[in-house]
Amino acid sequence: MDPGRSHIETIIESSTHKFILFDEPTEETIPYFKDLMKKNSCINIVRCCEINYDASLFEGVKIHELCFKDGNVPPKDIIERWLEILKQAFIENGKQKTTVGIHCIAGLGRTPLLVCIALIEDGMKPLQAVEFVRSKRKNAINSPQIKFLKEYKASKKAGCKIM
């Protein structure tokens, strides 16, 4: 492991998903993350940044690309794709709680922001979601992202639930 990295992984759970939030993998940390995904029966990883590693090293894990600019909020199409990935993962797991890995570069902005959106979709109030995520992953989510989350409305398609 790279001792200079302060945030290796954080696990956050909702009623339908377990999220593993982590830093961008490096060639040195991929074996660790690969093992972590296997131990948590995780077959989906969402990548919110440009790729800087060999994704094929995560054998048997589907890597979903949802890139958007660091420090910003996701465009509507990214949010829609994120929610669709979560819905599909839940369905593919027999409508039982499923694990989804998610990372950006440091795992402190884009990654926890998308997890907050999932928590809001699952019925949590926006600031509750931010506080909950920050209680698990210190320094997560910047001020513009918090402003965005305060105004975010859960989709009505699924009765305020991801599924």
- How far apart, in whole angstroms, are the C-alpha atoms of residue 130 and residue 146? 7
- d(CA 36, CA 101) in angstroms, rounded, equals 10
Kindly report, residue by residue over 42-61, the tens digit of the pLDDT.
999 999 999 888 888 888 89
- The domain made up of 9-151 has a fold known as Protein-Tyrosine Phosphatase; Chain A (3.90.190)
pLDDT of residue 95: 86
* pLDDT tens digits for range 23-37: 999 888 899 999 999
> Beta strand pairing status for 98-103 and 62-65?
unpaired
Q: Is residue 105 within 8 Å of residue 49, measured between CB atoms?
A: yes
Tens digit of pLDDT for each residue in 83-119?
A: 999 999 999 888 888 999 999 999 899 999 999 999 9
Q: State the residue for tokens 């839940």.
A: 90
106 marked as binding residue: yes
What does the DSSP assignment read for 119-144? HHHTT--HHHHHHHHHHHSTT-S-HH
Q: Is 55 annotated as a binding residue?
A: no
* pLDDT (mean) for 66-92: 95
Is 107 annotated among the ligand-binding residues?
yes
Catalytically active residues, by annotation? 70, 104
Q: Is residue 118 annotated as involved in ligand binding?
A: no
Do the beta carbons of residue 27 and residue 10 sit within 8 Å? no
pLDDT tens digit string along 112-141? Answer: 999 999 999 999 999 999 999 999 999 999
